[in-house]
Chain A
Amino acid sequence: MIIKIEYLEVRYGRNPPVLSIDNLSIERGERVAIIGPSGAGKSTLLRTIKGYMRPSQGKVEVMGVNLATARRRERQPINRRIGVIYQQFNLIPRLSVARNVLCGRLGLTSRWRSLLGIFSAEDHAIAWSAICEVGLSKKAHQRADTLSGGEQQRVAVARALAQQPTIILADEPVSSVDPAWAEDILELILEVQTHHQATLVMSLHQPDLARRFADRIIGLRDGRVVFDAAPASVTDTRLKELYRGHDSLPLNDNATRSGKDQTRSA
């Protein structure tokens, strides 16, 4: 059990909890997609697993460490092994692809040398193989802000890989990518996940993509798990129930294109 959540409650200040999960376990190597209407707590769940949100109650155990009670020193090594892929890529625009990927090594390399911009031969080797893996070897020395949105997300995937992650968290990884490239990116993420034997937890805006790319889907609504099932048993009726009362159900790609998460060109 790589992630184990028990009687978790997360709240901001005195407001009612944004997340309230009694029991949720994720096994090593699983591919989990979290879906649900906006405001359901998808990002909060990912941030709690990453350790950015302190649970106000309950237990979040990641790789055997309870994040709610662990000290900073115990959390750091866990933090380094969790690679995150963001909706907005969060690359350093003025630096090259290679430099951006090398930044994934910051927690694992010599602190002082990295401040001078020096990375070890091992760091370079790991970064280079990550760049090759995402298919950007020809653009390694190009500035990150000259790449297309899809390519930028590939760089972000490579940066996460440079961390040699045990867990990969992806927060709406394709919501800012041209819909035509969304599937490529998801395929790439699955590919590297398999190759590195990592556990993948991603939040997705489109249930359709979740059904195709995950082997387990968790439906969140108002911070609670509505269903937790294999893709085959996530029927349209269950999805309608999940998204009840919210903006149009983003069932297929066409619905997505006209939806609010329309591609923001990078």
Chain B
Amino acid sequence: MPPAPGRIKRAALKYTIIGSLAVMLIWCWIGTEMGSFDLVGSGPRIADFLDRMFPPDLTWTSSQNRPFAPPLRIALTTVAITLQISLLGTAIGFVLAIVLGFLAAENLTPHWVHHPLKIALALLRSIPVILLALLFVTAVGLGAVPGVLAIGVHSVGMLGKLFAEEVEGADGGVWEAMDSAGANWLQKVRYAIWPQVAAQIYSLTLFRLEMNIRESAVLGLVGVAGLGLWIENYRRAFDYPSVATLVIVTMMVVLVVEQLSIYIRRKLK
């Protein structure tokens, strides 16, 4: 067999990529001072920390000598608020993303509509949720509202982009057929596009909701109500068994939601 043409060029490219990856990782290793991290030396410290978390605090009754209510009681209300924040935030994101995402699709609107919208959506999703939450806490104060707003804004950017891509992938022949029947723009969107993309749009939204529940559990760190806030409260009071309880509760909530979401998304196909 004759040698494949361009094989030297391709091999050169391959080793260049491997080489630059290695250089980059070394740069990261030095930058993060991983070299000075003493795993063996920190062993006892990690063990001590885990030991103080164990066993998780599962008491139900409050007592005089602790600053906060027992974690299981707290969990009951904070799981609810975490779910409420993420459901409401996702719902707001979904509604706005339907409008903005469809308008941002190249096959539905002229370029002077979809170009600026695409940029706007990119800007919205470029800010991480926790940063958005920090800004909203500063703007509107502590509580659940900044969480809802942060998750809503980020979801618009994410879902809007994904919806636009779905719409752009829809078969244009149906569009022409509906136009030929005399349908107006909204009717064409409703009948030529929506039935083709609906299942995927529901599935993407559910996936976003799943991610938002995880995100909203963390937002407590910047003062948003929910599980994260109480993990932070207990940690500051050095009440590690309670921290452990809430971490376990968070894991359980996320896992249950994830399984539910996988199940429903499979049904949607």
Contact = CB atoms under 8 A, between A and B. Distances in A.
A193 interface: no
In this complex, the interface size class of chain B, counting residues with CB under 8 Å from chain A, is 20 to 34
B29 to A, nearest CB: 52
A90 B177 contact: yes
B41 interface: no
Contact of B186 (A88, A93, A111): A111
B173 A90 contact: yes
Interface in B169-190: 171, 173-174, 176-178, 180-184, 186-187, 190
Contact of A111 (B176, B184, B192): B184
Contacts of B199: 94
Given A90-B174, A106-B187, A84 B180 contact: yes
B196 interface: yes
A113 to B, nearest CB: 11
Interface string A87-122: 010111111000000011111100100110000000
A86 B182 contact: no
Contacts of B190: 114-115
A106 B191 contact: yes
B177 A84 contact: yes
A59 interface: no
A92 B181 CA distance: 13
Interface stretch (A75-83, A197-205, A225-233): A75-83
Nearest to B186: A115
B195 A95 contact: yes
A86 B173 contact: yes
Interface string B40-69: 000000000000000000000000000000
B182 A80 contact: yes
Contact of A92 (B176, B182, B187, B191): B191
Contact of A91 (B174, B176, B180, B186): B174
A254 B25 CA distance: 64
A90 B180 CA distance: 11
Contacts of B196: 92-94
Contacts of B178: 103, 106
Contacts of A163: 181-182
A107 B195 contact: no
B182 A111 contact: no
Classify the secondary structure of B's interface with A.
helix
Chain B CB within 10 A, most for which of A50, A91, A92 = A92
A159 interface: yes
B179 to A, nearest CB: 8
A111 B195 CA distance: 18
B173 A111 contact: no
A108 B192 CA distance: 17
Given A88-B173, A115-B187, A79 B180 contact: yes
A162 B183 CA distance: 13
Contacts of A79: 180, 182
A50 B186 contact: no
Given A92-B196, A111-B187, A115-B190, A104 B173 contact: no
Contacts of B187: 106, 111, 114-115
Interface of B: 171, 173-174, 176-178, 180-184, 186-187, 190-192, 195-196, 198-199
Interface of A: 50, 52, 76, 79-80, 82-84, 86, 88, 90-95, 103-108, 111, 114-115, 156, 159, 162-163
14 contacts: A83-B181, A84-B177, A86-B173, A94-B198, A103-B178, A103-B191, A105-B181, A107-B181, A107-B182, A111-B186, A114-B187, A114-B190, A115-B190, A159-B177
Given A90-B177, A111-B186, A159-B177, 11 more contacts: A86-B176, A90-B173, A92-B196, A94-B196, A103-B183, A105-B181, A106-B178, A107-B182, A111-B184, A115-B186, A163-B181
